[in-house]
Amino acid sequence: MASIHCSSASLLRSVFTTTTTRASVLPPAFLVPAFNITQTSSFSSTTPAQARKDGNRNRGVSALRHTGIGRKQKLGVSLANLPKPVLDPQKRSTVDVDEDHGLWDFFYPSRELFPTPEESHAHGRAWTVPELRVKDWDDLHRLWWTCVKENNRSATAMLARQKAAARSGMYGDYEANARHEVVAETMKKIKFVLTERWYAWENARMSAMEDEEVDLYADVEKGEEAYLPGRAGDEPLALGTKADALTDSGKAIPPPDAAGTTREARL
Amino acid sequence: MAATAPFRVGMKEIYLPNFNIVLTRTPSQPPTSATFLTPLWFSKLDLRDYLYHAYDIRIGPSIRSYVQQSAIRQGQVKDPARPQYKRWHRPRATKRITVELERPFVWPKMPEDLGEWKPVENKMAGVEQQGMQERMGGASDAFAVEEGRRRGMREQARALLEGREKWRPGGK
């Protein structure tokens, strides 16, 4: 090793001493092959560009990288013909709202954003129980739905007014609440009357079960008599008879017919 | 009407509803959409049936619902009589359903003149009430006597000292 090292050093010595000016321009002759090495295999594993020429027009177009459209791409519209947004709300076209639009029911008849305190205050009293007792189910049902829509209306107006009042304080809550209380009282009275009516029906049914002159199982539509006067006391109550079946509480008694349920609201 | 509905009607029979459906003003939305506040148990199908049967509103296929949680508030109840510190509760969440209308609807405009709702008087009353609460509250001794009343007392004392008025027990 030492001899080789010394021999190479002795070989190079003449080179280093002689090539003082030409060394920067040209490498020595024995180093030329090292500079002529050409890379035959690629360092990169990326597919070369030629392989991507597959006729896909959208190749390289990306919305995420903001590449824009490709050179060969053509859009359906030109930039010159694009519609421009109307930034001024005053210049926008107005929408014609139908007069019979259903959403108008969420507003008061004046069709304002919210009613004035005077308009809210202009209301009557609640319905009373004697007034409601003479009404049938259809009327009560209709009145209930009138109250429901009034509640929706007042709640919508209340929300709109409170949003507007956040900027500048406004009166009107007191009148709206007083109006709502009247509606709530009417609804309470309707439920009272219906409850009263149900108990009246139930009491009548219970007394009819005990009354031997009444046949709860009679089919009136077929001409059978439900009320048989003078039957009571004719014969003593015997087991197994029809009268016994009437008083037998274990038998299924037909429930009170849900009269007036023809108008039903389905959700 | 149920037989003519252009969609399959639901089976929940509600004869006497006791909930409110509130239409909310959403200026940022197009006129073909409407947003409602509904009960939490309300579904999109419920609202479609409700609007169709009660209001004769037909809505498009797009309907979105969203439950917004409320921020926690002090106190155990909604509007406590006095502030309840160290007691916190979260008010009930609100459900919003946005429907696509078949016919566009634009809300009425904000009234130009709000004089009917007395905003000036409302603000004056608020200031007066706040001052009254400060004078009558627990920290009333920390506040100085009102300037006008102070001036009147000074004038009254001066009149008594100069002999222009004579003090009598029990007032005049």
Higher per-residue confidence, B90 vs B80: B90
* Domains in chain B: boundaries: 2-73+87-101, 123-162
For A148, the closest of B12, B17, B110 (CB atoms) is: B17
Q: For A129-138, A246-255, B61-70, which range has the lowest pLDDT when averaged over its residues? A: A246-255
Choose among A215, A216, A212, A213: nearest CA to A256.
Answer: A216
Pairing of strands B22-24, B59-68: unpaired
Burial zone of A191 (CB within 10 Å; 0-12 exposed, 13-18 middle, 19+ buried): middle
Are A216 and A253 in contact by the 8 Å Cβ rule? The answer is: yes
Are B22 and B36 in contact by the 8 Å Cβ rule? The answer is: yes
A172: closest chain B residue by CA:
B117
Interface with A, mutate which of B22, B35, B47 (most A CBs under 10 A): B22
Alpha-carbon gap, residue A14 to B53, rounded angstroms: 109
Interval A12-30: pLDDT, tens = 555 555 544 555 677 788 8
Residue B39 sits at the chain A interface (C-beta within 8 Å): no
Structure confidence at residue A263 (pLDDT):
47
Structure confidence at residue B85 (pLDDT):
83
Give me the percent of chain A exceeding a pLDDT of 70.
76
Q: What is the pTM of this model?
A: 0.68
R_g (Cα) of chain A, nearest Å: 49
Helix (H) or strand (E) holding A208: helix A173-210
Q: B-chain residues within 8 Å CB-CB of A265?
A: 13-15, 17, 53-54
Quick check: A155 and B22 CB within 8 A? Answer: yes
Interface with B, mutate which of A103, A149, A161, A193 (most B CBs under 10 A): A103
Interval B96-139: pLDDT, tens = 999 999 999 999 999 999 999 999 999 999 999 988 888 888 77
Q: Residue B95: pLDDT above 90?
A: yes
Alpha-carbon gap, residue A115 to A170, rounded angstroms: 12
Structure confidence at residue A109 (pLDDT):
94
B105: closest chain A residue by CA:
A97
Query: What's the angle, vertex CA A107, arms to CA A104 and CA A108, rounded to 5?
Result: 120
Interface with A, mutate which of B14, B51, B98, B116 (most A CBs under 10 A): B116
Q: Residue A254: pLDDT above 60?
A: no
Residue B24 sits at φ, ψ, to 5 deg, of: -110, 150
Distances (CA, A) of A265 to A181, B4, B38: 25, 14, 18
Choose among A180, A245, A187, A185: nearest CA to A217.
Answer: A245
Distances (CA, A) of A9 to A3, A16, A62, A138, B80: 10, 10, 61, 121, 101
Alpha-carbon gap, residue B137 to B139, rounded angstroms: 5
Are B80 and B13 in contact by the 8 Å Cβ rule? The answer is: no
Tell me the average pLDDT across A111-124.
95
Burial zone of A114 (CB within 10 Å; 0-12 exposed, 13-18 middle, 19+ buried): buried
Q: Which amino acid is at A232?
A: A
Query: What's the angle, vertex CA B115, arms to CA B111 and CA B117, rounded to 5?
Result: 85
Are B101 and B59 in contact by the 8 Å Cβ rule? The answer is: yes
Residues of A with CB under 8 A from a CB of B: 94-95, 97-98, 101-103, 105-107, 111-113, 116-118, 141, 144-145, 148-149, 151-152, 155-156, 159-161, 163-165, 168-172, 187, 190-191, 261, 264-267
Q: Residue A242: pLDDT above 90?
A: no
Encoded tokens for A95:
């929408």
DSSP B120-159: HHHHHHHHHHHHHHHHHSTTGGGSPPPHHHHHHHHHHHHH
For CA atoms A75, A78, A83, A87, give the dihedral sign. positive
Q: For A14-23, B60-69, B84-93, B101-110, which range has the lowest pLDDT when averaged over its residues? A: A14-23
Choose among B46, B51, B38: nearest CA to B96.
Answer: B38
Quick check: A266 and B12 CB within 8 A? Answer: yes
Bridge partners of residue B66, in order along the sequence: B96
Structure confidence at residue A180 (pLDDT):
97
ipTM: 0.81
Alpha-carbon gap, residue A88 to B26, rounded angstroms: 19
pLDDT band at residue A247 under the 50/70/90 scheme = low
Encoded tokens for B143:
């506040």
For B49, the closest of A113, A118, A267 (CB atoms) is: A267
Are A219 and A225 in contact by the 8 Å Cβ rule? The answer is: no
pLDDT band at residue B47 under the 50/70/90 scheme = very high
* Domains in chain A: boundaries: 111-203
Interval A76-108: pLDDT, tens = 888 888 888 889 888 988 899 999 999 999 999
pLDDT band at residue A253 under the 50/70/90 scheme = low
Are A140 and A259 in contact by the 8 Å Cβ rule? The answer is: no
Residue B36 sits at φ, ψ, to 5 deg, of: -120, 145
Query: How many C-alpha atoms does A225 have within 13 Å on its Cβ side?
Result: 7
What homologous superfamily does CATH list for B2-73+87-101? Answer: RRM (RNA recognition motif) domain (3.30.70.330)
Structure confidence at residue B146 (pLDDT):
76
Least Cα separation, residue B128 to chain A (angstroms): 14
For CA atoms B107, B112, B113, B118, give the dihedral sign. positive
Quick check: B117 and A116 CB within 8 A? Answer: yes
For B118, the closest of A113, A171, A267 (CB atoms) is: A171
Distance of CA A21 to the CA centre of its chain: 87
Q: Residue A251: pLDDT above 60?
A: no
